Amino acid sequence: MSSKSEESGTVGQMAPNLSATKLPSIKEMLQLFFFYHKNENNKFTRDSATLTACNVLAIWEKAGVPTRLKKHVEEDRQFLLAQHEQGRRGLIGAVDKATLIKEAKVQKKQERLKRIRERESEPINSLKTQLLLSSSTTTSTDSDTSISYEIVTAGPSTAKPPARKRGQVELVDSHLASSLDATKLSDRKAAIVITSTLKSAGSDPMKFTVNRSSIRRQHQKHRKEIAESLKREFKTRRSFSYFGVRARN
C-alpha cells in the first residue's frame, strides 16, 4: 500500500516516469508532475511543468504524434484516436520505414541539386577570380611605379604623376560581335571571357579596349550595320523583281 505522502488528491499515487509503449493519459501526466514538484525539490510550478512536458513530448515524438506541425498521415491519426479510447489500444512500434525512405529521397534530391548549382557556378566564379587578380596585379604595379617615382624625385614638386594610358587596340570586330550575339553572352560576361582569353594567350589585357561599354558599342554598331545591309539587299531584290515583272508584261 502506498503512503499518503505518495498520493496527491484525486491523482492517486505519484509516478516517477511514464510508460514507454503507450501514450500518457492526463492522469499519468499529473502523477509525473506532482512527483517532480514534491520529490525533486522543484519549488516553482513552472520547473515541474517543464520537466513533465519534456517527458511527454519525447514519447509523442517517438509515436509520431504531431505537436507543432500539422501532419496528415492517416496511420498516425488513427493511432492517436485509438490511444484516446478506453484501454488505449495499440503500441508504439519501430520507426516508420516508409517515412525514413521518403526523407532520404528528399535529402538526396536536395544534395544533387546543390552539386549541380555548384558545378554550374564554378566556371563563372573562376573567371571572376582571374579578373579580380588581374585588376589587383595592375593596381599593385601602378603603386610600385608611383613609389619609385617619388623616391627619385624627392622634395617638393608640382608636377602631376603620369596618367595611366588606356588600351587603344579595338579587339571586338564584327565577327567577334556576331559570335557573342550567337552565344547570348551579356556585355559583362563577354568582357570577363575576353580578358581571361587574352591572359591565357600571353597578351596584356591592358593594351586592348576590353570593357562592358566598348563591347556594348561594338554590339550596337554591328547590329546597325547588319540592319542597313539587310535594307539595301531588300531594296535591290525589290527592284529586280519589279523590272522582271515589267519585262514579262
pLDDT in tens, 2-22: 444 445 556 778 888 888 888
**Together in a domain, 141 and 211:** no
Containing structural domain, residue 143: 95-148
Same domain (yes/no): 141, 69: no
Kindly state whether residues 10 and 87 are assigned to the same domain: yes
pLDDT in tens, 60-72: 888 887 776 555 6
Q: Is 162 within a domain?
A: no
Instruction: Note whether residue 155 is domain-resident.
Output: no
- Alpha carbons within 13 angstroms on the beta-carbon side of residue 36 total 19
In a domain, 101, yes or no: yes
* 131 and 86, same domain (yes or no): no
Domain count, the chain: 3
pLDDT, residue 223, reads 78
Taking the C-alpha atoms of residue 54 and residue 50, their distance in angstroms, rounded to an integer, is 6
Same domain, 173 and 245: yes
pTM greater than 0.85 (yes/no): no
Residue 156 within a domain: no
Q: Are residues 84 and 8 in the same domain?
A: yes
Query: What is the rounded average pLDDT for all residues in the chain?
Result: 72
Residue 120: inside a domain, yes or no? yes
Burial class (CB in 10 A: 0-12, 13-18, 19+), 234: exposed
64: left (phi over 0), alpha (psi -120 to 50) or beta: left
154 inside domain: no
Share of residues in the chain with pLDDT > 70 (%): 67
In a domain, 193, yes or no: yes
Same domain, 55 and 121: no
Give the pLDDT mean for 116-133. 75
Asked whether residue 99 falls in the same domain as residue 78, the answer is no
Confirm whether 88 is domain-assigned. Answer: yes
Residue 26 CA to residue 11 CA, distance in Å, equals 10
pLDDT of 241:
55
Q: Is 89 in the same domain as 14? A: yes
Residues 42 and 72 in one domain: yes
